[in-house]
Structure 1
Amino acid sequence: MPGPLSLFAVNAVLILSTDDHSRIFAKYYSPPHPPAGAAPNATDYPGANPYPTVKEQKAFEKGLIEKTNKQTSDIILYDNRVVVFKMENDVMLYVVGSSEENEVLLYNVVLALRDALGILFKGGTDKRSIVENYDLVALAIDEIIDDGIILETDPVMIASRVSRAPAPDVPNMKNIDLSEQGLLNAWEFGKRRLAEGLRQGL
């Protein structure tokens, strides 16, 4: 019988090397607040991180890549977890959820990650591009998932938020009008920009 539904769908996002089976990126999630009545270090409630120590995480990852390296399907049950994965060149992208989690939901997350990285790296998603652009990868994953909650699965939206052009330099302090009218103008400009941003769904 399925367990209680939880917003905290994702236990972990992993990017592992298929060459030497090393960890390139790993993020394990736990809800910020365990449910009432849960033991202090419990890992058996929905969304809890099942691998709280680095040693446990590395053991899980080693077994996972050995299991999936020669798989033809993209979804497996491993260590009582639903794992969806995609291979890109010399890396494997994984999204891990609990055994009761919806596979289609998790699969959409791994596809969103793969496609967002494909947009950011212009199709060249490999170990080198991930290591050289680690900040973009981390930001993209943060756009998709927060505390294990899936926020966004549109790769175009994810990539556009991560790769937005830097804001122009702050204007020279001498050119700032600090009169009452100047401050009012700045306030109006800020309000207009905020309204535009909200309309564009930022």
Structure 2
Amino acid sequence: MNSKRQTLVDTALNLFYEHGINSIGINQILKVSGIAKKTLYHHFDSKDALVLATLEQRNHSFNEWLKHRLNHSKTNSEVISNLFHALQDWFSDKAPELGKFRGCFFINTSAEFSDPSSDISKYCQYHKQQVRNIVAQYLFNPTEDLLDAICILKEGAISMAYVANDLSAPKKCIQLLNKF
């Protein structure tokens, strides 16, 4: 990837994740990145195109992190434990590859783009489906009920950690899911 394009994506992702997409204008991204407006529009025809690039980058980094954290799981209980311990690390800012925890970038972005048919909303839905597929890939003979429970609890844990600052949610999820 072109280094200036990458700088724009990195800068935009950091600013969007910290402050929200609608709170950050193109001029602020240009100022922080030190890149000219002409260069930005050479790589992205709109702010939405830049938002999509940040979503793609976050999707890739999150999914690679998740695969790494689930990689050595040998049982469904280990998948569950590894998943929720990974989330606990992320919530506690112990996952440097994901940066300081500010909730789920995809949930936050979806809240700002309410049209479910927009490319941005569709990409957020795509990310959630990819995460579900990754979890399913590591489970042993997963049932839809177990996969649904894991994914719903995972989303709830993320929301509780961010909105209510409840960092105990991953432990509670492990306890609930070990009943399956």
- Structure with greater helix percent: 2
Rg larger in structure = 1
Above 0.5 in TM-score? Answer: no
- Structure with greater strand percent: 1
TM-score normalized by structure 2? 0.28
TM-score normalized by structure 1? 0.26
